[in-house]
């Protein structure tokens, strides 16, 4: 069976345009070094001792032309653990730089990622396959290039959760245990310990980042910068035509558009990326690099899940759109030498803010079940909503799902504050402790909202259906993932599979999994992995 599976895998078609057309690092080997005038370094994955499959995503496998049966084979495990490669593959690690927490960090690169090659799917789509945690590369610096089980579980589940939330993202094909132990200091506090090693196979049309262009611009290497931008337009933006100064600007405009759309999607579901460095921003507007991410448990725009960002809150929920704009400005600076027209790039940056604000207003109207955003009434309504959500500890996701159950036909004159709030009480962490003044402010907003709904004219049923398509019931709460990680550390992977099942239908009622939509339990409020995570998480 394994031999037959390998034969089938060998039929996968790779067309490695990236490595074929772009300049390579002439130096061989995995030793850490500065790589100049090259987009990548060829490097082989590190072999592991005893790989075993924990889970795979049948949907992703199907898009790649790999059957679920084949995913269960030893040949699949050997291939996507890095123990074997196929003849058509061209393993490599990419060179890029980036701004980290607002500071230029110089060369970064794929320090624990090895790209296997570009697969052409049965639908003739291009997918770059890469292994995260496959060992050292020239960009690993002093690190080992490996990944541990806990971070790999988070990466696999979040990639797929975001996809099923209808948010652009890189995908995850498989999660494989390596059979080896990896030393990690989770919170960089001197308490290093051995943990199970794991590898995730990720897939995307491209993993090109803002920082991919920044590294060459920072070195004055316009030849390699131009080669990469030309390749990006030809491969990822072919509708723009031949690479030239006009299509360069159009490409940047497209990146501004897709980035604005992505930020609105993140805000819609309460997702916080946690480490929006320029090397973690995709030119395709994809969510990429899931490290210390999280979803808002209570509505707090200042919340960040990243321990490294605890003091600055640079990457907190409420700052994500602004940071994306800052990152776009850094990308504009990088490609400016090829364009020479700062005004065109500045106009695109100005348009980013306009696009984001318009999309955000429309998104909020959808979350509230309104047929469209009306500036005269809805600006104040939404601003006031943001304020009342912060008055007391409020679960954002549950709030909107419960708000959909509000009866817009009720008589406001005959309904007191307590009755008005009853449908949404489950959204509050301590409903019995809500002060009378706070209750009155929330009830006043509900009255304004109901009056707006009555003007809108939608039926309760139609409004609820619309709201529930835009407000997920199930998101990948950190405490749920931590439970799965704790069990996986003891060799029980059943909770990973259950979570994977739940996240595939995030907008649907799933009675069998009702507990997965519950508020964060008190035990998880300050527990590591549930509240705050490090970049090593």
Could you identify the residue written with the tokens 């600055």? 312
Domain range annotation of the chain: 2-207, 211-366, 368-537
pLDDT at 192: 85
Residue 309 has pLDDT above 60, yes or no: yes
> How far is C-alpha 537 from the geometric centre of its chain's CA atoms?
15
Residue 229 has pLDDT above 60, yes or no: yes
Which tens digit of pLDDT belongs to each residue from 126-182? 999 999 999 999 999 999 999 999 999 999 999 999 999 999 999 999 999 999 999
At residue 523, the 3 state secondary structure works out as helix
pLDDT at 5: 56
Q: What is the mean pLDDT of residues 57-67?
A: 95
Which tens digit of pLDDT belongs to each residue from 247-257? 999 999 999 99
Residue 190 has pLDDT above 80, yes or no: no
Please count the CA atoms within 13 angstroms of the CA of 526 that sit on its side-chain side: 0
Q: What is the mean pLDDT of residues 72-92?
A: 96
Residue 290 has pLDDT above 50, yes or no: yes
User: How would you label 494-526 residue by residue, b for 16+ Cβ within 10 Å and e otherwise?
Assistant: ebbebbbebbbebeeeeeebeebbebbeeebee
DSSP 45: P
Task: Give the percent of the chain with pLDDT over 90.
Answer: 92
Which tens digit of pLDDT belongs to each residue from 108-122? 999 999 999 999 999
Task: Give the percent of the chain with pLDDT over 70.
Answer: 98
> How far is C-alpha 97 from the geometric centre of its chain's CA atoms?
20
Cβ-contact 364, 382 below 8 angstroms = yes
**Which position among 25, 110, 279, 366 bears the catalytic label?**
279
Beta bridge partners of 52: 177
> Active site includes 236?
no
Cβ-contact 279, 288 below 8 angstroms = no
The packing angle between helices 342-367 and 460-470, to 10°, is 140
List the one residue out of 87, 196, 98 whose CA is nearest residue 148: 196
Which tens digit of pLDDT belongs to each residue from 327-382? 999 999 999 999 999 999 999 999 999 999 999 999 999 999 999 999 999 999 99
- What CA–CA distance (Å, rounded) separates 238 from 245? 15
Q: What is the mean pLDDT of residues 495-522?
A: 97
- Average pLDDT of the chain? 95
User: Which residues have CB under 8 Å from 357's CB, separation 6+?
Assistant: none
Which tens digit of pLDDT belongs to each residue from 461-490? 999 999 999 999 999 999 999 999 999 999
Prediction pTM value: 0.96
Which tens digit of pLDDT belongs to each residue from 18-48? 999 999 999 999 999 999 999 999 999 999 9
pLDDT band for position 414 (cuts 50, 70, 90): confident
């Amino acid at each position: 069976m394994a031999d037959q599976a390998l034969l089938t895998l060998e039929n996968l078609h790779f067309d490695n345009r990236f490595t074929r057309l772009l300049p390579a690092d002439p130096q061989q080997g995995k030793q850490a070094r500065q790589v100049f005038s090259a987009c990548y370094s060829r490097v082989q994955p590190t072999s592991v001792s005893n790989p075993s499959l924990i889970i795979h995503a049948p949907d992703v496998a199907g898009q790649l032309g790999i059957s679920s049966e084949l995913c269960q084979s030893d040949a699949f495990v050997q291939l996507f653990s890095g123990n074997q490669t196929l003849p058509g593959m061209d393993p490599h690690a990419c060179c890029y730089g980036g701004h980290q927490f607002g500071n230029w960090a110089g060369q970064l690169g794929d320090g624990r990622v090895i790209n296997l090659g570009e697969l052409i799917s049965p639908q003739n789509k291009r997918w770059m396959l890469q292994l995260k945690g496959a060992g050292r590369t020239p960009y690993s610096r002093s690190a080992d290039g490996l990944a541990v089980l806990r971070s790999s579980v988070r990466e696999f589940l979040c990639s797929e959760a975001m996809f099923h939330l209808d948010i652009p993202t890189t995908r995850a094909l498989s999660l494989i245990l390596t059979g080896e132990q990896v030393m990690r200091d989770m919170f960089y506090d001197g308490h290093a310990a051995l943990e199970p090693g794991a590898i995730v196979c990720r897939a995307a049309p491209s993993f090109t980042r803002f920082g991919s262009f920044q590294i060459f611009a920072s070195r004055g290497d316009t030849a390699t910068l131009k080669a990469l931008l030309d390749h990006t337009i030809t491969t990822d933006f072919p509708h723009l035509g031949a690479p030239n100064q006009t299509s360069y600007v159009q490409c940047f405009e497209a990146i501004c558009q897709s980035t604005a759309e992505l930020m609105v999607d993140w805000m819609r579901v309460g997702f916080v990326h946690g480490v929006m460095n320029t090397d973690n921003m995709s030119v395709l507007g994809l969510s990429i690099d899931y490290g210390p991410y999280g979803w808002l448990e209570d509505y707090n725009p200042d919340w960040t899940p990243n321990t490294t960002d605890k003091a600055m809150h640079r990457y907190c929920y409420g700052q994500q759109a602004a940071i994306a704009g800052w990152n776009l400005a850094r990308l504009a600076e990088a490609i400016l030498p090829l364009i020479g027209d700062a005004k065109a790039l500045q106009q695109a940056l100005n348009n980013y803010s306009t696009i984001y604000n318009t999309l955000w207003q429309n998104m909020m109207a959808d979350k509230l079940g309104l047929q469209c955003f009306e500036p005269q009434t809805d600006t104040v309504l939404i601003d006031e909503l943001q304020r009342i959500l912060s008055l007391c500890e409020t679960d954002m996701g549950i709030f909107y799902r419960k708000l959909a159950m509000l009866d817009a036909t009720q008589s406001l004159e005959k309904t007191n504050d307590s009755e008005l709030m009853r449908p949404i009480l489950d959204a509050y962490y301590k409903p019995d402790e809500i002060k009378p003044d706070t209750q009155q402010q929330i009830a006043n907003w509900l009255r304004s909202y109901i009056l707006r709904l009555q003007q809108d004219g939608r039926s309760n049923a139609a409004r609820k259906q619309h709201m529930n398509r835009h407000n997920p019931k199930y998101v990948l709460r950190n405490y749920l993932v931590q439970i799965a990680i704790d069990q996986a550390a003891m060799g029980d992977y059943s909770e990973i599979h259950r979570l994977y099942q739940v996240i595939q239908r995030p907008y649907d009622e799933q009675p069998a999994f009702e507990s997965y939509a519950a508020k964060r339990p008190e035990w998880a409020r300050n527990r590591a992995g549930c509240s705050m995570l490090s970049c090593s998480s």
